[in-house]
Amino acid sequence: MPHSRSAKKRHRQSLERRERNRAVKRELKTRVRKVVDAVDAGKPEDAQGALRIAAQKLDRAAAHKIIHRNAAARTKSRLAARIKKLQTPAAAPVAAK
């Protein structure tokens, strides 16, 4: 445990920040899961809407340095790729000769 007044204050602040950061990360995971669930259910419109909200949350978390900006970009890219794969019709398999 901290002994000096300033160390006690820093410890208190770190606990508050930790709690706030954990709440933001939980919200991110929820928003990402909503996109994935919509894709798995085969609902591209719902997935697009959920992606828009998830991207905003990811960008805000990256701006506040809660997650790394590259991690936010990577997550957004992977979610967008899943939606794009859902929207494009599968190519018909070519019969082998």
Q: Do 36 and 19 meet the contact criterion of CB atoms below 8 Å apart?
A: no
pLDDT tens sequence across 46-80: 999 999 999 999 999 999 999 999 999 999 999 99
Q: Tokens for 2, please give them.
A: 């901290």
- The span from the CA of 29 to the CA of 24, in Å, is 9
Other CB atoms within 10 A of residue 72 CB:
21
- The span from the CA of 62 to the CA of 41, in Å, is 29
Taking 80 as the threshold, does the pLDDT of residue 89 lie above it? no
Which residues, at least 6 apart from 34, have a Cβ–Cβ distance to it below 8 Å?
50, 53, 54
pTM: 0.82
Domains of the chain: 5-87 (1.20.58.110)
Q: Tokens for 73, please give them.
A: 């970009």
- Taking residues 87-96, what's their average pLDDT? 67
Taking 70 as the threshold, does the pLDDT of residue 33 lie above it? yes
